[in-house]
Amino acid sequence: MFNHSPKNSASDSPLSIEDRDALCRAAQLLESPGFFIRAVNMVGAPIDAVFKRLPGGAGEMVRKAVTVSLERALDIALYRVHRGWGLFHHENLMKILCAGTGAVGGTFGLPALAIELPVSTCIMLRSIAEIARAEGEDLRSPGGRLACLEVFALGGKSPGDDAAESAYFVVRAGLGQEVRAALQYLAKEPADRAAAPVIVRFVQAVAQRFGIQVSEKVAAQAVPAIGAIGGAAINAGFMNHFQDMAHGHFTVRRLERRYGEELIRQEYTRCRKTRA
C-alpha cells in the first residue's frame, strides 16, 4: 500500500489531491502485479521447462499464435466501441467470457491454442479498450489504439528482468521507438495497414513480453489434469491482471494529457518512494 505520512505528503504537489491519489493507485497496480501473476512468474521457470519439452514444436506454435492474435485482435476488439454494446462495460462479465475460452483450452489442451488464444485475446483487448475509453482515451486515434496493445507488455516478467527493468516507464521506453515509428507511419497513411514493417515491429515488441506469459499459461493448460475448471481459472486470472494493468496505464495517460508527461513521471516516482 501507499501511505501519505506528513513528511512525505503531497501538499507541495501541483496535482490535485484526487489526481495524485489516482496516480499513486495506478503506480501500485503497475509496479506490484496481483498474486496470480506473481505466482505465474515464480513458477515460470519450471513450467517453461515442461513447456519446452512438449511435442510438435509447441514453442513456435505459441509464438505464431501470439503474433497473429495481436495483429488481428485490435480492429475486432474495437468494433462499435464508441456506440455500444453496453455489456462490454462490465469487467466481471468479461472475466466470465474469458474464463469460458480458458475452459475450452483446459479441456482440449495445446490443439485448441490456435482458436482459444485469438478469441481470449480479443476479449481481453475489448475490456482493455473499455477501460481506456472510460479514462478519456480517443480510440479512433492511432495512439489510443496502440496504447491498448501496450497493455499486453505490462506487468509481466521477461528473462533478465530485475527490479528496475520491470518498472512501468522502463517498459514504455523500451517500446517507445516502435510506437513512434508506427505513429509516424499511420499519420501519413489513411489506412491502418497492419502488414507495414513498422507496425509488424511494434506488434513483435509487444508479443515478445506477452508471449512469455502466454507460454506459461499454455504450459499449465496443457497439463492433462488441469481440465476445464483449471483452464477457466487461469484465463480469469490473466483477464484480471490485464484489467489492472489497463486501469493503471490509462490513468497515467489521462494525467499525462492534463499535466504533461515529465511532471507525471516525477510524481509517479514520488508515489513509488512513499510506498510502504
**pLDDT by residue (tens digit) across 155-164?**
765 544 544 4
Question: Does some domain include residue 189?
Answer: no
Please enumerate in sequence order all residues whose Cβ is within 8 A of that of 84, keeping only pairs 6 or more positions apart, or say none. Answer: none
What distance in Å separates the CA atoms of residue 148 and residue 139, rounded to the nearest whole number?
Answer: 9
Question: Does some domain include residue 35?
Answer: yes
Q: Give the model confidence (pLDDT) of 148-157 as tens digits.
A: 999 998 876 5
Residues of the chain with pLDDT under 50: 1-8, 43-45, 47, 50, 85, 159-160, 162-166, 276
Question: Does some domain include residue 147?
Answer: no
Residue 214: its pLDDT value, please? 77
Residue 8: its pLDDT value, please? 42
Residue with the three cell numbers 464508441: 82
Residue 159: its pLDDT value, please? 47
Residue 261: its pLDDT value, please? 94
Do the Cβ atoms of 156 and 48 come closer than 8 Å? no
Question: Does some domain include residue 190?
Answer: no
Residue among 216, 217, 182 nearest 197 (CA): 182
Residue with the three cell numbers 513521471: 265
Question: Does some domain include residue 257?
Answer: yes
Question: Does some domain include residue 146?
Answer: no
Question: Does some domain include residue 249?
Answer: yes
Alpha helices in the chain (DSSP H): 17-31, 35-52, 58-77, 91-108, 113-134, 142-150, 168-188, 197-222, 227-259, 261-273
CA torsion 72-250-213-65 (nearest 10°) is 0
Pull the grid cell for residue 71. 495483429
Residue among 113, 105, 120 nearest 224 (CA): 105
What distance in Å separates the CA atoms of residue 192 and residue 195, rounded to the nearest whole number?
Answer: 9
Do the Cβ atoms of 222 and 216 come closer than 8 Å? no
Range of the domain at 261: 6-140+214-273
Question: Does some domain include residue 11?
Answer: yes
What distance in Å separates the CA atoms of residue 66 and residue 208, rounded to the nearest whole number?
Answer: 9
- What is the domain count for the chain? 1
